Amino acid sequence: MSRQAHEDTIVALSTPAGSGAIGVVRISGPEAIAIVNGVFSKNILHAPGYSLHFGQVLLPSGEVLDEVLLSVFRGPRSYTREDTVEISFHGSPYILAEALNLLVSAGARPALAGEFTQRAFLNGAMDLAQAEAVADLIASTSAKAHEIAFKQMRGGVSDEIGKLRHELLNFTSLLELELDFGEEDVEFADRTQLLQLIQRISAMTTRLAETFRLGNAIKEGIVTVIAGRPNAGKSTLLNTLLQEERAIVSDIPGTTRDTIEESLVIEGVKFRLIDTAGIREAQDQIEAIGVQRTMESIGKARILLYVYDVLGTPQAEKEADLEKLRKEGLEILVVGNKWDQAWQLHDNLFERFQKTIPGHELAISAKENNGIEQLKAALLQAGVGSSNAEENVIISNLRHYQALRAATASLSEAENAILAGLSQELVAIDIRHAIHHLGSITGEITTDEVLGNIFSKFCIGK
C-alpha cells in the first residue's frame, strides 16, 4: 500500500477480556501481515485481502499455541485503512495472553485504548463525528445506544449537519450579497425572506440539540431515583423490577454506601435505578447524611419514583413529600405500593382503584409483582417520551450538543437583529458566531465558499 501515517504495527485483543467461545486478536500496521506470517503455520505473505486462513499459531519452540482462523485485510480496504490481520483464537485467557506476548515479541506494539479507531480517523476512513461514534458504539450497553452510535457512525449526523451547513451557507451568501454587491443589478433578499430562512435554520439546530437529552440518556442510561418514606417498599420494588431482567443487570461499582445503583433495560432503553435511604426528619447525624445523599441523587435524576404505602400514608404527608421533591426537569411518578394488602381487604379493590387513580399515580404491589408492567411502560414513557428514536438522527455527543446550543443562541440574536431592522453586517456578526460554533461539527464556512456561492447564483460584475 501507499505511504502511511504510522510506521509501527499495533496489536490488541479486540474482544472483551475473560473467557468466551472465541477471542479475536487484531493487528494493524505496515508489518501486520509479515509479523503474523512469522508465527503462523502457513505462508500468508501473498494472501489477498478479505481471505480466510485456517492453521496453527506456533510458539518459538515450535509448539502449537492454538488452532485459529485468521482474516487478512489489505489496506486501504480495512477498518484502519492499513494492512490488518484478525486472528480468532479459542477464548481462553491463557491462550490470548500468550498470543499477545508472541505477537509483541515478533515486533508489534500493544495498542493504546482507541488507537485502531484513531488510525482509522487519521487515515481518513471516517470523519470526526464518525470516530466519536465508534467510541460510543464500543461503549454502548443497550440496544438503543448501540443503534444511535451505529447510525452516527454510518454518517447520519454528518448528513444532517451537511444539510444545516448548506442552509447556513445560503443564508450567509444572501447577507454578503447585499453588503459586497449592493451596487449590482440583482435582487436582494428582503427581511421577511431572511427571517424565514433563519427561523428554519434555528429550528434545525434546536431540534438537533433537543435530541441530545434523549441521545445522552440512551447512551448513559436515564437516572431514575426511587424515593419514599422508610418501609414504603422501595427496595422490594427495586428487586422486583430487576428480577426479570437479572441477566442483563450489572452492578456499577463506586455507588455510595447508602444508595444502591442498578441498571434496568426496558425495550432497549437503559435506566439507572438508584435506591435511596428513606426520607423522614433525621433522627441522628448518620441518617441526616443519608437523607442528604438522597437529595443529591434526586438532584441528578431525570425520573423520580415516589413510592408510598397505600395503607399507612396519610394524604397530607404524601403531598408534603411531593412538594419538597418537585423540581424543574424532574419527572415524578407517584407509585402507590402494597395494594396486595388493600386487595385482601376487598376482592376487586385493586382493579377498581387502578382505574380511578389520578394522573401519574400508579398502583402496584411490589411483593406480588402486580402492576409492574404498567410501571415499566410509564417509566419508558417518562424516559424517552413519544419521540421517535427510530427515524431521527440523535445527538449523543456532548461536544456536538454544546456547539448546537451555542449556535442556536447566536442564531436567535441574529433573528432579533433582523427583527430590529439592523443592517446586515451586524446580523452577519451573529451568523459568524453561529458558524464558528457549528464549525467544529459542520466544518467552517469560508469566504471563498460564500463568494463562490454568490458568483454561481447571481450575475455579478460590471
**Footprint on this chain of another protein (rule: CB under 8 A):** 3-5, 81, 118, 121-125, 127-128, 176, 179-185, 420-426, 429-430, 432-433, 436, 439-440, 443-444, 446-448, 450-451, 455, 459-462
Return the number of the residue (298 or 450) whose C-beta is nearest another protein: 450
Return the number of the residue (165 or 318) whose C-beta is nearest another protein: 165
Return the number of the residue (146 or 400) whose C-beta is nearest another protein: 400
CB of 227 to another protein, least distance (A): 43
Return the number of the residue (247 or 420) whose C-beta is nearest another protein: 420
Please count the CA atoms within 13 angstroms of the CA of 1 that sit on its side-chain side: 25
CB of 420 to another protein, least distance (A): 7
Any idea of the CA torsion for 102, 106, 109, 113, to the nearest 10 degrees?
Answer: -30
**Distance of alpha carbon 389 from alpha carbon 245, whole angstroms:** 23
CB of 183 to another protein, least distance (A): 6
Return the number of the residue (381 or 416) whose C-beta is nearest another protein: 416
Return the number of the residue (260 or 429) whose C-beta is nearest another protein: 429
CB of 174 to another protein, least distance (A): 12
Return the number of the residue (59 or 422) whose C-beta is nearest another protein: 422
Return the number of the residue (122 or 260) whose C-beta is nearest another protein: 122
CB of 449 to another protein, least distance (A): 10
**Distance of alpha carbon 276 from alpha carbon 255, whole angstroms:** 11
Return the number of the residue (24 or 417) whose C-beta is nearest another protein: 417
In the numeric block, the cell 479475536 is attached to: 24
CB of 164 to another protein, least distance (A): 14
Return the number of the residue (96 or 174) whose C-beta is nearest another protein: 174
**Distance of alpha carbon 226 from alpha carbon 234, whole angstroms:** 6
- The contacts of residue 307 (CB under 8 Å, 6+ apart) are 226, 227, 228, 232, 233, 234, 237, 335, 337
Return the number of the residue (3 or 46) whose C-beta is nearest another protein: 3
**Distance of alpha carbon 6 from alpha carbon 453, whole angstroms:** 38
CB of 199 to another protein, least distance (A): 21
Q: Which amino acid is at 128?
A: L
CB of 3 to another protein, least distance (A): 6
CB of 193 to another protein, least distance (A): 17
CB of 413 to another protein, least distance (A): 9
Please count the CA atoms within 13 angstroms of the CA of 425 that sit on its side-chain side: 4
The grid cell for 168 is: 447556513
CB of 450 to another protein, least distance (A): 6
